[in-house]
A = this chain, B = another copy of it.
Amino acid sequence: MAKVHNYSAGPCILPQEVIKEAAEAVLNFDGLNLSILEISHRSPNFVTVMDEAVALVKELLEVPAGYSVCFAQGGASLGFLMAGYNMIGDHKKSAYLNTGTWSDKAIKEAHFFGDVDVIGSSKEDNYNHIPKGYTVPTDCDYLHYTSNNTIFGTQFKEVPNTTIPLVCDMSSDIFSKKVDISKFDLIYAGAQKNMGPAGATLYIIKDEVFTRNRIKIPTMLNIETHVKKDSMFNTPPVYPIYVSMLNLRYLKSIGGVPAQQKINEEKARILYAEIDSNPLFKGVAAVGDRSNMNATFVLTDESKQAKFDEMWKAANISGIKGHRSVGGYRASMYNALPVSSVQVLVGVMKALD
């Protein structure tokens, strides 16, 4: 069968090399003559997988000393709650930047813990840009933001300046570009974009957080629980973590985050160049805030929609229909999407008349 150009917004494309090894382990893991689906998470073979996954995260993201890495479940949506539980302190107040649907949901959960100061928002403009010029209050326990906004196609190009602890939902651009981890107190990310399949969530936390004056935290929502037990306080999502480990191992093999970042920048350059030069298309997000992960664009002449849709489908492109809250198209160019798939899409855009 012809290769599918998989632009799925998430869960998203994974490298073929990873998928092959992932399938083999379902049949026979590590030569044990057992499936990875039916072994104990406390077996030495899986403990090795977990240790390697954590070590790869630390190496690939250059996680500094004084930080811990662990895996949990529940996705970023549970992360919204865990951020509050773990970070709220004496101020009983948090600051948030509202840059999209996921920020908005994070803000909703933050209200569970006290006042929320939304210090910047692009909600009124359907989140078509990243807010600027905001002032970070000093009477909040932390500032929270969403680094990349999958639905609207915007991305922070700089880490916000703040003197209060910084928390980031990096679900959709972690491992896609270099990040200075030392600027953050807490980072969380659902696996299902650039880390692996759905079902695992990554937490990176400054150990100092555990020493602060915190509220009473339920066991499973306390990140310290998972850190102290090496992500095995309870049965972890074995297979999603295994495939994430394979994917991170693959990322390392191609040169790590810097090499991947170059590929991602190249893909974004090619696609945005076409959006900007082709009069039949128009970008949705403010140019300076454009995401390298999710490019959102619309047709300038809606009457061409049926034809364009027919053309990209014929080219074996899948997953570029825009989210209902934006419309048009969204090309998600996560790590595993090859440059050649972007060239195919651009070829279709050029051929439209």
Contact = CB atoms under 8 A, between A and B. Distances in A.
Contacts of A26: 19, 22-23, 26
A319 interface: yes
A18 to B, nearest CB: 8
A80 to B, nearest CB: 8
A165 interface: no
A238 B197 contact: yes
A190 B78 CA distance: 17
A33 B233 CA distance: 37
Contacts of A218: 81, 109, 112
**Identical chains in the assembly:** 2
Interface residues of A, number: 66
Contacts of A236: 198
A9 interface: yes
B19 A37 contact: yes
A239 B198 contact: yes
A108 interface: yes
Contact of A77 (B39, B196, B234): B234
A318 B43 CA distance: 11
A161 interface: no
Contacts of A10: 40, 235
Contacts of A9: 40
Nearest to A32: B4
Interface in A185-207: 190, 192, 196-200
14 contacts: A4-B33, A8-B38, A11-B37, A11-B38, A11-B39, A22-B26, A38-B336, A76-B234, A77-B219, A81-B221, A108-B219, A190-B234, A198-B238, A199-B240
Interface of A: 1-4, 6, 8-14, 19-20, 22-24, 26-27, 32-35, 37-41, 43, 72-78, 80-81, 105, 108-109, 112, 190, 192, 196-200, 216, 218-221, 233-240, 243, 318-319, 336
